[in-house]
Structure 1
Amino acid sequence: MFTIATLYHFTALENLPALQLRWKKYMAQQHVTGTLLVAPEGINGTLAGPEVGIHNTLAMLAKELGIATPNTKFSRSDVNPFPKLKVRLKRETIPLGVAVNPTQAGTYVNSQQWNELMANPATITIDTRNDYEVKIGQFKGAKNPQTRTFKQLPAWLAKNLPQDKSTPIAMYCTGGIRCEKSTAYLKQQGYQNVYHLQGGILKYLEEMPQHNSLWQGDCYVFDDRVAVTHSLAPAAHYQICKSCNTPVNAADFKRQQGNICSACAAAQPA
């Protein structure tokens, strides 16, 4: 059984090449695989390995960053979803396309507070993920900006948010990093009551009993599992279309045409 940790933390980092070498060496010794992105604004990644190796790695990162622990969500898998270990240097942990200080973010809300926030009819709930992720699951009543990349979100927000900067706005994403950075952007634009789901969808699914849950469908994840159910078990009925690289219900595949979805199959010349 492999432990999978989805993690991030925003903090100012320097001397990134030295961090890259030191952290990769330590994680390799712990038999950890996956990808960790290291940027001047912080870290972001998904790692897998034996439980003790993952927890040792998180403890090492926490000590290096001077924090109690990174923002982390755990899940488990019978197989290792990552064949290799990669520690990559990036300009941003997740590119938004506009300058923003992610340490100046909105207000965290936990799973129960999230339900209460969404029960307020004045709240505007925004899914900060990409359209192909939203299609297989989202919170009831949330707005889908229908973006293809995270960089497209600021333009959508500029066109669709109300002028009243006191409007309560709730934002969410898979693990917390995109919605946290999005709230920092909105705070920068003058919005006062901006909230983001602490730990993202994955933490919500872990904590919230299904009979009280406002989540509908499955949750897309960026590894070989493709998606997870409300119990965080791999959702076996999804595959990635080799043509459009989006998650598709396995029943919709046109296997005779090379494991592509029906939409891509229909678009091919006869």
Structure 2
Amino acid sequence: MKHVVSFYLFTKLERPANVQAELQRNLAAQGVVGTVLLANEGINATLAHGVRKTLEECVGFIEELLANLQLNAKYSTADADNEVFYRLKIKVRDEIIQFGRSLQSSDEVGNHVNASEWNQLLQDPDVLMLDIRNDYEIAIGSFPGAIPIGTTRFSEFGAHAQQVMQEQGLSKVAMYCTGGIRCEKASHALLELGAEAVYQLDGGILRYLETVEGACNKWQGECFVFDQRVTLDKNLAQGRFDQCHACRRPISDEDKRSEYYVKSVSCPYCIDETTARQKEQFSERAKQAALAEARGERHVGTPQV
């Protein structure tokens, strides 16, 4: 079994490049893989290792590096044969989650609610339940009654949010995403648009699944994640979906039985989105990757998650 930890923190980083160097030295020495995004607005990371204690120690190191600020770390697992990530990538960006603007410490955000409070909001007819994830994520799992924001990427949120609020005729909004980070920026945007009240699921779907069991768990389906596991089930274990290497969408066993599915080349969702030339390129990439794997190597064209 592999272990995975995800966390984010909006805090002012004066010198993210210095933090990058420290993290590269420490995490690489521990054999940790994953992705860390740094910006002046904070940190956003998902890391993987075969031993959970190693990840816990890494989280502790990062908390010390950030002046003992506490990270809201969320743990999950992957199958033993799943690498989760191929390598460690630590990057300095303009934003830790792309939205088109940074989040400042003075910016007002939504009210964070725990899982129990969230279940109460699910039953409130006066609250608009909003799933702010992308359409391909929502397709495989959601909370009952949630309205999809209707985006294919998070940066589209602002253009869709006001329209959804007007269509639903509600000014109180409860929103959720995978780990909570998108809700930080989205809730601020909704408040700027004039929402009366905004609630956000603290820690996102991952924290909810970690803390709620049995009949009290209202989540339906699986949860998409941005690594090689593709999805997680209610127990935060690796799910049953695969991924189309052409369009990166999650695909089920039924999807793979479609006449439009060709491994690494196309699926029912992207068959009409790529040209014949692109499909040829995908096919050639798959052949080269298979040859490299047979030699015990990784092909340079393999997606570097």
Fold match (TM-score > 0.5): yes
- Aligned counterpart for 1:264 among listed residues 256, 262, 270: 270
Gaps of 5+ in 1: none
The 8 Å contact of residues 168 and 194 in structure 1, kept in 2 or not, is answered as yes
Aligned to 2:90: 87
SS of the aligned residue for 1:113 comes to helix
Q: CA deviation at 1:242?
A: 2.5
SS at match of 1:264: coil
2:61 is matched with 60
Q: Deviations over 1:142-174 (max 9, x none)?
A: 111220110111110122224999932111000
Larger radius of gyration: 2
- 1:30 aligned partner, one-letter code: Q
More strand by share: 1
Aligned residues: 269
Output the CA distance in 1 between the equivalents of 2:71 and 2:140: 28
After superposition, the C-alpha distances for 1:75-131 in whole angstroms (9 at most, x for unaligned) are: 122243112111100100101124543653211100010001121110011111100
Of 192, 199, 207 in structure 2, the residue corresponding to residue 188 of structure 1 is 192
* Superposition RMSD in Å: 2.4
CA 1:110–1:265 in structure 2 vs 1: closer, same or farther (change >3 Å)?
same
Separation in 2, partners of 1:225, 1:44: 19
Distance between the aligned counterparts of 1:239 and 1:151, measured in 2?
A: 25
Alignment of 1:243-254 (within 5 A): 243-253=246-256, 254=258
TM-score, structure 2 normalization: 0.81
- Counterpart of 2:4? 4
- The answer to whether the aligner puts 1:43 opposite 2:43 as a matched pair is yes
Instruction: Tell me whether 1:172 sits opposite 2:176 in the alignment.
Output: yes
Match of 2:218 among 214, 218, 225: 214
| Structure 1 position 116 matched with structure 2 position 120 | yes
SS of 1:97's equivalent? Answer: coil
Deviation (angstroms), 1:269 = 8.3
Question: Normalized against structure 1, the TM-score is what?
Answer: 0.91
- Could you tell me which runs of 5 or more consecutive residues in structure 2 were left unpaired when the two chains were aligned: 277-305
Q: Which residue number in structure 2 is paired with residue 160 of structure 1?
A: 164
Distance in 1 of aligned mates of 2:145 and 2:170: 20
